[in-house]
Amino acid sequence: MVQTADLKVERLFSVKEHVCVITGGGTGIGLMAAQALAANGARVYITGRREEAVEKAAQSHAPSDGGNIIPIGGIDVTKKADLERLVQTISKDEKHINLLICAAGIPGGKAEPDKESGEEMKKKLWENESPEVWADTYNTDVTSVYFTTVAFLGLLQAGSETHGHLSASVIVISSMSGLMRHAQGHFSYNAAKGGTVQLTKLMSAEFQKLKIRINGIAPGYFPSEMTAKESGHDQKSHLPDEKVKDKGHVPAQRAGSDDEMAQTVLFLTKNNYVNGQTVSVDGGVLNVVAN
């Protein structure tokens, strides 16, 4: 029987001694997740293509006590050779991992379908998009999630064997854009993020036999290089409330905060009874935009 004292927050959401890997961990939501996990005792490996970005992120946000953030740069998640190298590098120091977060992604192209005539609509979309950009977007935002997860299956299964049934998990960073009907001018990105939602369901069902849980987070507007177009010297981005209000479809009237993303990451990391779900953290957008 659980005692009242067993339900303290520090016990429910502690990730002390957890080993975590985050792709795209040098900026945006990936970095928010790294901070949340390290602050609560985890050893967190952050990866990305840009070595300088992950190194700056680790230096700027290392916790004063508890866990730590370890950068591994030069990793392109669209390349199987890089993923193999990443697994081998981590395997030198770790016999298992408890959590994989797939946060690497790109925005794709943009072309607003705002013309009234079919010929004008065709001209705008045809000239402003390309199959190559669509392929790059899908490859980075969907295909890489699959191959990154597959690459770590052995270490993840070992994590569950170490800590208990279905305790190791994967969190896929999708987007509210993958759940809505409004294209926002981002057909390739929204289609790809919809793909990650379905991929999360497929992997959760197929990989639970390995005692691995897989869930997703569908963020709304959070500060990142994708939404703010830049990051500062500490790899953090700023998204002004006014910019979010101007969109006209965000009931919260502001961007999401680091601590709100942290709460979601810790919940999905520690709740072993949640599997195959994509949690929207969007400030209410999907209540007013068709999905």
List, in sequence order, every residue forming a beta bridge with 281; answer none if it has no partner: 219
List the catalytic residue out of 144, 167, 174, 224.
174
For residue 149, the model assigns a pLDDT of 98
211 is catalytic: no
For residue 238, the model assigns a pLDDT of 87
| Six token digits for residue 128 | 């402003």
For residue 236, the model assigns a pLDDT of 82
For residue 290, the model assigns a pLDDT of 85
The alpha carbon torsion through 68, 74, 78, 79 (nearest 10 deg) reads: -120
Q: At what angle do helices 28-39 and 258-270 cross, to 10 degrees?
A: 60
With b for 16 or more beta-carbon neighbours within 10 A and e for fewer, the 135-171 pattern comes to ebbbebbbbbbbbbbebbbebbbbbbeebeebbbbbb
List the catalytic residue out of 144, 169, 175, 189.
189
Quote the CA–CA distance of 129 and 186 in Å, as a whole number. 10
45 is catalytic: no
Residue 176 Cα distances to 173, 203, 212, 247, 264, angstroms: 10, 20, 24, 15, 15
Quote the CA–CA distance of 261 and 254 in Å, as a whole number. 14
Coil vs helix vs strand at 213: strand
Coil vs helix vs strand at 217: strand
What is the Rg, in whole angstroms, of the alpha carbon atoms belonging to the chain?
A: 19
For residue 224, the model assigns a pLDDT of 84
Instruction: Look up the CATH number of domain 12-286.
Output: 3.40.50.720
Residue where the block lists tokens 């994509």: 278
The DSSP line for 127-177 is HH--HHHHHHHHIIIIIHHHHHHHHTHHHHHHHHHHH-TT-EEEEEE--GG
List the catalytic residue out of 56, 193, 211, 270.
193
Task: Judge contact between 183 and 109, C-beta under 8 A.
Answer: no
pLDDT in tens, the chain (291 residues): 789 998 999 899 999 999 999 999 999 999 999 999 999 999 999 999 999 999 999 999 988 887 899 999 999 999 999 999 999 999 999 999 999 999 999 999 999 999 999 999 999 999 999 999 999 999 999 999 999 999 999 999 999 987 766 689 999 999 999 999 999 989 999 999 999 999 999 999 999 999 999 999 999 999 887 787 877 888 888 888 999 999 999 999 999 999 999 999 999 999 999 999 999 999 999 999 988
Query: What φ, ψ does residue 10 adopt, rounded to 5°?
Result: -65, -25
For residue 105, the model assigns a pLDDT of 94
130 is catalytic: no
Quote the CA–CA distance of 51 and 72 in Å, as a whole number. 7
Closest CA to 280 of 189, 199, 215, 190: 215
